[in-house]
Structure 1
């Protein structure tokens, strides 16, 4: 609801904050090609068909708001950095465990290429049980 009550000044402040983040990322990517981070706060879990805001997660045995699952995606996308999520292993239930490769601003192909190169080395995506084509 905060966005509904936001003023033009609030919005301009948020844009300035985003630009400050972009500048920090520009500094970071002067020395680094790819930033690897988790793709999500949890491993993959069974699909939940409830309305988005009604969904809940189990994180380390405790119930958490489903929006927490978007944290690592926000690390990249808040400043507009390109990101590619990819599987690196599987849980004991056969569901994927993923990482994301974050690249420099407007260099969308950098994380895509990295994920492709890594897939050649460790194996690409394999559908989890029940989702084979």
Structure 2
């Protein structure tokens, strides 16, 4: 991770009030601070456990846009802003939906549902994710398979077909 942290530090120097500062701080934390965050994670997981007593899955977006285009920068994630309805958003806004699923401690299965339209051209994939309770992997996988039959599903990009 030294290269990634160096990229974060360089980004922080260029944009002191940007997203790199909080991300860099997250890579250097005390054990006490980690324990505090872990307590919060466990509380969130308990709430999801209770939720899944009544529901099998939660269906939600994977990201706030179609899949982001590749940008050929291996370590500078912050150099990837994107637009939502004409508003420029920082890269880390893309991970909020899957971060919600990750912190739950349960499985998530991603389902490609269609391709976006971008300036008249065929766009990149748009997906949904089915989140289930801890240990509910087979439920999310089965749901994804059933939904995949009803939508366009996965279509390999032309370069990979």
Alignment of 1:6-21 (within 5 A): 6-21=29-44
Equivalent residue for 1:84?
Answer: 109
CA contact (8 A) 1:85 1:100 kept: yes
Give the structure, 1 or 2, with the largest relative contact order (CA under 8 Å, sep 6 or more). 1
Q: CA deviation at 1:123?
A: 4.4
Q: CA deviation at 1:118?
A: 1.4
Q: Deviations over 1:34-65 (max 9, x none)?
A: 10001101123432222322211112212211
Q: Which has the higher helix share?
A: 2
The TM-score with structure 1 as length reference comes to 0.88
Equivalent residue for 2:21?
Answer: none
CA RMSD of aligned residues (A): 1.7
The TM-score with structure 2 as length reference comes to 0.74
Q: Which moved more, 1:65-74 or 1:53-62?
A: 53-62
Give SS of 1:47's match. Answer: coil
Where structure 2 has 5 or more consecutive residues not aligned to the other structure, the ranges are 1-23
* Higher Rg of the two aligned structures: 2
How many residues are paired up?
Answer: 132
